[in-house]
Chains A and B, each alone.
Chain A
Amino acid sequence: MRGVFYLAWRYLTWHRFKTSVLVGAISLVLFLPSGLQLLINRTAEDMTARAIATPLLLGSRGSPVELALNSLYFSEDYPSQLDYLELDRLNETGLVDAIPLYIRYRARGHAIVGTSLDYFTFRGLEIADGRPLVELGEAVLGGAVAQELGLSVGDSVISSPETLFDLAGVYPLKMTIVGVLATSHSNDDQAIFVDLKTAWIINGLGHGHQDLNKTAAANVVLTTSDEQVVANASLVNYNEITSDNRDSFHFHGDLSDYPLTAVLPIAVDRKSATLLQGRYLDHPTLQLIEPVKVMDELLATVFAVQRYVLFAIAMVAAATAAVVVLVFMLSLRLRRGELLTMTRLGGARWAITSLIAAEIIIVLIMAATVAALLNLALVLWGDTLLNSLVLRS
């Protein structure tokens, strides 16, 4: 029997390309259902875990899914905005400690999360290098962002314009990196954190420019009155906040009207949370959602879709199996001369049959091994894959 397996192995290694194609096709068919299942389960676990860790979320009325995906997983689509005033109102209830979130802009593909220092405490995020946010214009990077972009403390990161051709839109802001977070194996690894006011400056609600009261700025001043100074378009606006120009940054209007994309209400106890939910039940403009319920509904849809995908994979598997059988049958035809030679030399019938069986067994073992290795890779590096493929999108 060893001789037969040796011959089968020689045949397969001699016809490397054919063998590789067969092994590749079969291993993919074996891997896809289990790999997909594994990936979906991991995604579901990760998403649910984060949703469970976020009991409540306040946002404007609209899609609860969009609100949860943006606030928890930093998706690009951002929900309708609510006023900062709502955060103050939440705090005034005494039922919760509210954390602001303003997640609208991105830098080199990563979400810029405008928030307060309470967010880091709430998520249990720790600084691995540098220090927390202190001043305007500072940024703290998630561990994966720092690694991916090759940035560290002292470097800077520039916010991206929302659309390339929007000349009237927000201008990029150059932010100094003061800290890098330790890896938390969550979406926070993929985000860039800034103070809420820095996020508003990116938005254009706050800005810094040369001092119009100084004589050096006389040529840009058009009119001056007790209430305001009007300058022409040559006024220099700062696109980076430094220690020299930090004091020149200011905000116009009432801060309570400034936008947030969501508020994270941290209820002091279960009762407070229930009371709060009751208050926002019929609110005309706001919604207080339980992210875990929203994610459960979303995942139920994903699992329903998964069943269709698995059915499609089963169909592909059946087609692949048919093709593999066809390949072996055609191969037998091509090898009729070789098998006839073995018969004429006196090769035992069982040996010739076993030769074909051995080839099939070896191909199946190789395919199963490749599929198992792919599954193992998914288990080992699934998080990285999920972060880059799923959670960032």
Chain B
Amino acid sequence: MIRIDNLRFSYPDSMFRLEIEELVIGAAERVAVIGPSGSGKTTLLNLIAGVDIAEHGSVTIDDTQISQLTDSARREYRIEQIGLVFQTFELLDYLTVLDNILLPLRIGANKQLTPEYQARAKDLAGFVGMQDKLDRHPAQLSQGERQRVAVSRALLLEPKLLLADEPTGNLDPGNKHIVLELLQSYATEHSATLVTVTHDQSFLSSFDRVLDFASVNQANSA
């Protein structure tokens, strides 16, 4: 469960402000966050993930208050408990598909890169239909394939929380469907919480709840 209380956040040298009095996202809930550009949807994901820290208020995931953790503890929590998917995939061009999926284990997760994880990475590649392209580099893949690799990377450590920032923003309709299906089926099968920022109205019905951020960010309505 994610709980946000009395949260206030702003970027330095920016007019943007985010204010949320109370927001609760239930465990295993699948939530779509919609709203106009600049309303703070991505900032919300960054605050939940602990990439940004609120000036006031708290973000709590299960029993862990993210804002109270040290920087290294937040990073550790993020890499092991949260799966992140970005609109622009954020794959490393010099790594193969398999190495991109295994990246979290190489940059700090407190887990060893064991043969079991190698096997899991290959299974995930199979799960997203990339099992025959493990040795390819991102530049050799289509947009849809890259996002599927990014999804596999997010799922490697079996997170209890998935945060996806416009994961279908750069995809064609066919791949949009595939990627959302992958995220939702994982969330369902693993009872994971899924928070997806999207502009795509056509898939909203597949989520448990749709959060219109224009009404959530009270700084906008002030």
Contact = CB atoms under 8 A, between A and B. Distances in A.
A158 B46 CA distance: 85
B84 interface: yes
A10 interface: yes
A347 B72 CA distance: 9
Nearest to A347: B107
Interface in B34-52: 46, 49, 51
A344 B92 contact: no
Contacts, number: 75
B207 interface: no
- The main secondary structure of chain A at its interface with chain B is helix
A122 interface: no
Interface string B90-132: 1011110001000111111100010000000000000000000
B31 interface: no
A7 B95 contact: yes
Interface in A217-236: none
Nearest to A342: B107
Interface residues of A, number: 24
B82 interface: yes
Interface of A: 3-4, 6-7, 10-11, 13-15, 337-338, 341-352, 355
Contacts of B76: 346, 348
15 contacts: A3-B113, A7-B95, A14-B93, A14-B94, A343-B51, A344-B46, A345-B104, A345-B107, A346-B79, A347-B75, A347-B104, A347-B107, A348-B75, A348-B108, A355-B107
B29 interface: no
Given A345-B79, A349-B71, A349-B72, A3 B107 contact: yes
Contacts of B51: 343-344
Interface residues of B, number: 31
Contacts of A337: 90
Interface of B: 46, 49, 51, 71-72, 74-80, 82, 84, 86, 90, 92-95, 99, 103-109, 113, 137, 153
B106 A7 contact: yes
Contact of B107 (A4, A11, A14): A4
Contacts of B103: 7, 342, 345
B94 A347 contact: no
Given A342-B107, A344-B49, A347-B107, A15 B79 contact: no
A42 to B, nearest CB: 43
B84 to A, nearest CB: 6
A15 B92 CA distance: 13
Given A3-B107, A341-B92, A348-B75, 16 more contacts: A4-B106, A7-B92, A7-B103, A7-B107, A14-B137, A15-B94, A337-B90, A341-B90, A344-B46, A344-B84, A345-B107, A346-B77, A346-B82, A347-B79, A348-B107, A352-B107
